[in-house]
Amino acid sequence: MKLRALALVAIVAASSTALGAQAASKAVDRTNMDTTCAPCTDFYRFVNGRWQDTATIPASYPGIGVGREVYDRSLDVLHAILEDAAKTRGAAPNSNTQKLGAFYGACSDSSRAEKLGATPMAADLARIAAIRTPAMLQAELARQQANGADLAFSVGTEPDFKNTKLTVAALGQGGLGLPDREYYLGDDSASVKLRESYRAHIARTLRLLGGTPAGAADEAKRVLALETSLAKAAMPLEEQRDPKNIYHPLTVDSIARIAPGVNWKAYFASVGMTPKSVIVQSPSYLTAVGKLVSSVPMATWRDYLRWRVTDNASPYLSSRFVNERFTMRALLTGAKSLPPRWKRCMTTTDASLGEALGAAYVAKEFSPEAKARALAMVGNLEAALRDRISTLDWMSEATRKEALAKLAAFRVKIGYPDRFRDYSGLRIPPGASYYASVMLANQFEFRRQMAKSDKPTDRNEWGMTPQTVDAYNDALNNEIVFPAGIMQPPFFDATADDASNYGAMGAIIGHEITHGYDDEGRQFDASGALRDWWTKDDADKYDVAAGRIRDQYSSYIVADTFHVNGKLTLGENIADFGGLKIAYAAFEKAMSGRSRAPIDGFTPEQRFFIAYASAWRTKIRPETMILQSRTDPHSPGEWRVIGALSNLPEFAQAFGCKAGDPMVRGEAIRATIW
């Protein structure tokens, strides 16, 4: 658990799993375009219109788009690696190949999972049924958190915001079965209906464990009431965006004073920590949890644990559990069917043994040349931002000096870690059930996280696996990270022109760099520490510009009556806008002295913007659109294109757009930051 989410690009919409092999697409592709739509009217439609009209979303997908297509190609590579590992006889005991093979093999054995039903979790259920006291409850909470269950509150470690050299313990909120607190609190008819469906789903799941329909219905009612109490106490997502709101360093003794219902010393001992200091995300949330532990009957807590633990286990049990769990996913995402078993097995293996799989992946798929080219591009983008910061007319010298120092200190990671994770402490015995294999992997990861408490921060660690099709900025490490998985066409293509590569991959690199200066990132300094290095006057000017971006996106409609949440998506929108701006500047520099002859009828500048817009081509089910608008800090692809480009005079110039065109925002309302 991390209190702060990493700032991603979020290329693969609402991940589940994917389909078969596809040819690599190009960043500029006329067959996707609708040239009957004027570029200055709706540039997203101009670039992606024909694709939008003809693409169909496969039944098991929440949506499709470029990121999904790229991930599908990677899946084929990963699939071959795992099939080989599962077939390898005589792999060295406890080697990564043995573990990958045993894990993937255990998942693939569907007839065994059917035969076992719920028996792999019988010991868990027996312990839960025996809970009679708060002490027994918190011991079981700790045990199930190590199994990966999301219960009541979350525990983890992360760099101390104000001294990032040291990693410390952290406590956050958690334990909800619905995607966010607002799902429990909304009183509109859609929210009420969804909660009814959720309650029925809990009851059906509990029924799979035995008991009567009436008993399960009562239990589900009590579970929903308890989750609603947790939701009421939880901090809203928008408030969590400000790091000051989620940084409360406390000793275990002071946590015991604000949340006396839990014996925190015993709790930390049971998760293997004796922390000197704990970062608490929300003290008032812990107070509420403490009160619920002392006031809610143990019978209700037993129901809650039975539900949450079964929900956590369901994907690894028999099809009755798998299918019941999918009914709720289907409601939330609109997906029509489960992905085939081999794809689900790939996703779980990826999540459990990601760097073991990643080491095999990069050996096949990533070259030193690709790394060198990506590094050169990052260097050009950083130089472009350095130029911008050096010449910004609204920024004072004092703030400028700090901003440049932060840029100079950026750590850049490309492809895969220098040192892959050591899995030697994880045993997946041959013959272990699928459920047991996943729990062993979860416990291994949990122990690894807890062991970091009060130790120096490991700056070499990666927050994404090499095969991930995404990228991130981690403000606490002041780093930008680009896994091998994203260094593929159409984002990056060694055979394509500069316009294509800078418009797609360049804008992604720029996006991650700019995260260091978005509404959240700008509060961290060159060392990654939470420290206000802005003069009051500069911060005020920044807030005015950011406010314009917030209002701009809040006016966009996602689906039905749902709008983009301009406050929740602010950091991502600033990163899109700033990233595009510096990618364009770097592109212009790279083009100097090169041929400017049109290709496919488009100038290099036009191709740059077409490549950008085509990277965000997505078609998403309405249910998933609504889910994302409520929980995802990224705007939908269409608005990432229209929102960023309509603020950019360079775009208007490339396509000859005039004041008053829909793709040109007037100067009076247009935001300028970089």
Q: Which one-letter amino acid corresponds to residue 72?
A: D
| Rounded Cα–Cα distance for residues 105 and 422 (Å) | 21
Closer of 7 and 362 to Zn ion (Cβ):
7
Closer of 120 and 503 to Zn ion (Cβ):
503
Closer of 584 and 655 to Zn ion (Cβ):
584
Closer of 475 and 496 to Zn ion (Cβ):
475
Min dist. Cβ of residue 499 to Zn ion (A):
23
**Maximum separation of any 2 CA atoms in the chain, in Å:** 78
Token output for 84: 């080989």
| Rounded Cα–Cα distance for residues 316 and 322 (Å) | 7
Burial of 443 (0-12, 13-18, 19+ CB in 10 A): middle
Piece of the chain touching Zn ion by CB under 5 A; list 2-10, 192-200, 307-315, 608-616:
2-10
Segment holding 200, helix H or strand E = helix 189-207
Residue-by-residue DSSP string for 284-346: HHHHHHHHHHHHS-HHHHHHHHHHHHHHHHGGGS-HHHHHHHHHHHHHHH---SPPPHHHHHH
Pairing of strands 248-250, 278-280: antiparallel
Closer of 216 and 575 to Zn ion (Cβ):
575
Min dist. Cβ of residue 575 to Zn ion (A):
5
Closer of 47 and 575 to Zn ion (Cβ):
575
| Rounded Cα–Cα distance for residues 438 and 424 (Å) | 16
Min dist. Cβ of residue 473 to Zn ion (A):
7
Residue-by-residue DSSP string for 536-585: HHHHHHHHHHHHHHHHHHHT-EEETTEEP-TTTTHHHHHHHHHHHHHHHH
Min dist. Cβ of residue 470 to Zn ion (A):
9
* Positions 296 through 325 that interact with Zn ion (CB under 5 A): none
Min dist. Cβ of residue 511 to Zn ion (A):
6
* Positions 572 through 591 that interact with Zn ion (CB under 5 A): 572, 575
The answer to whether 37 and 46 have CB atoms below 8 angstroms apart is: yes
Q: Applying CB under 5 A, does 70 fall inside the site for Zn ion?
A: no
Piece of the chain touching Zn ion by CB under 5 A; list 1-9, 122-130, 532-540, 597-605:
1-9
Query: Which string of x and - marks every residue 3-42 that binds Zn ion (by CB under 5 A)?
Result: ----x-----------------------------------
Min dist. Cβ of residue 572 to Zn ion (A):
5
Min dist. Cβ of residue 8 to Zn ion (A):
5
Token output for 546: 């950011």
Residue-by-residue DSSP string for 98-110: HHHHHHHHHHH-H
| Rounded Cα–Cα distance for residues 640 and 31 (Å) | 22
Min dist. Cβ of residue 10 to Zn ion (A):
7
Closer of 224 and 549 to Zn ion (Cβ):
549
| Rounded Cα–Cα distance for residues 149 and 442 (Å) | 9
| Rounded Cα–Cα distance for residues 404 and 389 (Å) | 7
Closer of 6 and 591 to Zn ion (Cβ):
6
Closer of 140 and 474 to Zn ion (Cβ):
474
Closer of 7 and 663 to Zn ion (Cβ):
7
Closer of 374 and 575 to Zn ion (Cβ):
575
Sole residue written with tokens 């100038």: 603
Pairing of strands 153-160, 562-563: unpaired
* Positions 373 through 392 that interact with Zn ion (CB under 5 A): none
Closer of 121 and 575 to Zn ion (Cβ):
575
Min dist. Cβ of residue 281 to Zn ion (A):
21
Min dist. Cβ of residue 218 to Zn ion (A):
44
Packed helices 134-146 and 434-450: angle between N→C axes, nearest 10 degrees: 100
Min dist. Cβ of residue 486 to Zn ion (A):
13
- Mention every residue, 6+ apart, whose C-beta is less than 8 A from residue 188: none
Q: How many residues bind Zn ion (CB under 5 A)?
A: 3
Token output for 107: 């998942």
* Positions 515 through 574 that interact with Zn ion (CB under 5 A): 572
Burial of 127 (0-12, 13-18, 19+ CB in 10 A): middle
CA-nearest of 607, 419, 573 to 498 is: 607
Min dist. Cβ of residue 192 to Zn ion (A):
33
| Rounded Cα–Cα distance for residues 194 and 334 (Å) | 13
* Positions 329 through 368 that interact with Zn ion (CB under 5 A): none
Name the site residues for Zn ion (rule: CB under 5 A). Answer: 7, 572, 575
